[in-house]
Structure 1
């Protein structure tokens, strides 16, 4: 049996001057209108949710509208939403429940909100009689869906540029990171949970464990740059150790940090690994030899040759431990450019190149 479609309320359309009415204009308390109880929030996405509630039958036939008060949880005061032109008390016609609420002007991914509801009856003079507010209910919006991530992927592909050859993945850190007292058991770089840098709705932030590597090269030398934002010591490892026929690759994010530089996060996960299981169904999978960011080609002798996109900074997240003995650590001669660090960096919500229309 097909589930009945819920009536949808487009929050973006519920603004003064666009057929909506502010819940603060011309209202008066009324006895006899039922107060919404047991608010239920279901089918939550990054920019929509379904809402329903219970209410007494007495006075239900008088209801013409619902007033919805939606606020970010961090901002508990009503009608103080960050966008100055958008009220949070909104008027929706009384439609059958559950009712779908959507609108990227209001809802951002991975954000905690509070919602409360009133029932209302529009009077002949245009004013409203209203019930008391329901209890406040809290919920959190979801990550980007695969549809949204594919939109982000298409934007990243549009600026990736031509492909340049490379031979190694590398990771820069302070000396202490590589010179800890390591026994045979701990000669490995271990995955850690990704921070909250980049797009707010990326499913990997705060959830997927991995180790970040770079592979970008200098155009004039074909080698890794000598400057780094992360430290003067560099671990280098042959590209085919991490990226080969048994490695699956996924698109994770595309963002900038109020600069002209754009970053693409790719996830490399050995087939059948824990990281691979996490990415399947959550992230767009990329063809290892046919994508715009990171590829390999098998040569006649069976070896692999590698290329990376020129016009984006690639952050490659490898999901499994990496044996330090498979590479080498050395000091680089360049500067430590901390301004280029992406640790917990916030995405520029105004950039037209790397944002999609479902919140930042």
Structure 2
């Protein structure tokens, strides 16, 4: 496929790009290009009933119906692919590249693939023209088809395994730890005690991290930390999430009945890198969600978070030194299983990862399909 720079978009001039947020299906008269070198050929059929299938995070198949009249004259397809307007979308270097694709007229459905202009979990609009290349090199074109919408998919396990390999490369040596902890404001724990039967309840994960991660906005869980200070071997006294800390013995959440999954690897324009892991009790709803979606890790032999059993049945735990682990536990946790106390450190809000956007230019934590 090549990218001609002078083709007229089907959304111009009769559709304001800002109105595409509310566009579901636009049945409208197509416009022929008035650009130099683009002519009209009434005999060329207009694509109808556009169909998108086999959608992945960086590819899709497209097909359509056409009248038989003039079909034998078609030499090329023009595909106008645009990201839907979204003021909150991640910024990345190819965001504003016009993606007017020119493809030779191959049998349908045709696969459109390209990580540099397709991002995971992103809404796009697409319209199609048929074209006939003339002896002088110019094109004659049909009217544009209707405009339709589709959304690319999450990362597949293949892509997540690529992220996993990158994360393993920088995880560093393993350090011992004994507790998981969760920092929040005092009101959070009052709410758990008074309105939630003394339990912390799972909530839907926010959109922090990799844009294509299948857990964002879908997996329900409770975030915990386990990183320790190198010099003390204990949890740090500073936190970005609140001055009150729930602390629980590691074996309560992570034991021989707990499955562990890799969820994400990202950074936020800093030198720190984060790894998201999911702890799901065997057979739980969270475990069912993760199976087939996330790479499963060996409980006692991975590079990030391990639980090893000694001959006497006791458990020991280690965490990776050189990444910040964010651990999602998928089930409710009763406050009586641990303790709540005020920490003596500061709230370092700049370290918060709530809805944090991944740095799309980082070569350490990005893969070929984008953010």
TM-score using structure 1 length: 0.91
Shift of 1:185: 5.9
User: How far, CA to CA, are the matches of 1:149 and 1:299 in structure 2?
Assistant: 31
User: How far, CA to CA, are the matches of 1:228 and 1:307 in structure 2?
Assistant: 21
1:300 is aligned to 2:315:
no
User: How far, CA to CA, are the matches of 1:134 and 1:48 in structure 2?
Assistant: 20
User: How far, CA to CA, are the matches of 1:250 and 1:51 in structure 2?
Assistant: 34
Shift of 1:181: 7.2
Aligned residue number for residue 68 of structure 1: 79
CA RMSD of aligned residues (A): 1.8
Aligned residues: 340
Aligned mate of 1:264, from 270, 275, 294: 275
1:115 is aligned to 2:126:
yes
Aligned residue number for residue 357 of structure 1: 368
Say whether the 8 Å CA contact 2:308–2:317 is kept in structure 1: yes
Shift of 1:86: 4.0
User: How far, CA to CA, are the matches of 2:318 and 2:298 in structure 1?
Assistant: 13
With over 3 angstroms needed to count, the CA separation of the structure-2 counterparts of 1:275 and 1:104, relative to structure 1, is same
Shift of 1:253: 0.2
List aligned pairs for 1:13-162, cutoff 5 A: 14-15=2-3, 23=7, 26-74=37-85, 83=94, 86-162=97-173
Aligned residue number for residue 14 of structure 2: none
With over 3 angstroms needed to count, the CA separation of the structure-2 counterparts of 1:291 and 1:106, relative to structure 1, is same
Aligned residue number for residue 323 of structure 2: 312
- Deviation by residue 1:176-213 (Cα, 9 ceiling, x = unmatched): 11123735961110000000000000000000000000
Say whether the 8 Å CA contact 1:42–1:51 is kept in structure 2: yes
User: How far, CA to CA, are the matches of 1:252 and 1:233 in structure 2?
Assistant: 26
List aligned pairs for 1:192-203, cutoff 5 A: 192-203=203-214
TM-score using structure 2 length: 0.89
SS in 1 for 2:191: coil
Shift of 1:82: 6.8
Say whether the 8 Å CA contact 1:160–1:310 is kept in structure 2: yes
Aligned residue number for residue 342 of structure 1: 353
- Deviation by residue 1:43-82 (Cα, 9 ceiling, x = unmatched): 0000000000000000000000000000011179xxxx97
User: How far, CA to CA, are the matches of 1:84 and 1:207 in structure 2?
Assistant: 25
User: How far, CA to CA, are the matches of 2:126 and 2:271 in structure 1?
Assistant: 38
Say whether the 8 Å CA contact 2:186–2:243 is kept in structure 1: yes
- Deviation by residue 1:259-308 (Cα, 9 ceiling, x = unmatched): 00000000000000000000000000000000000001112321101000
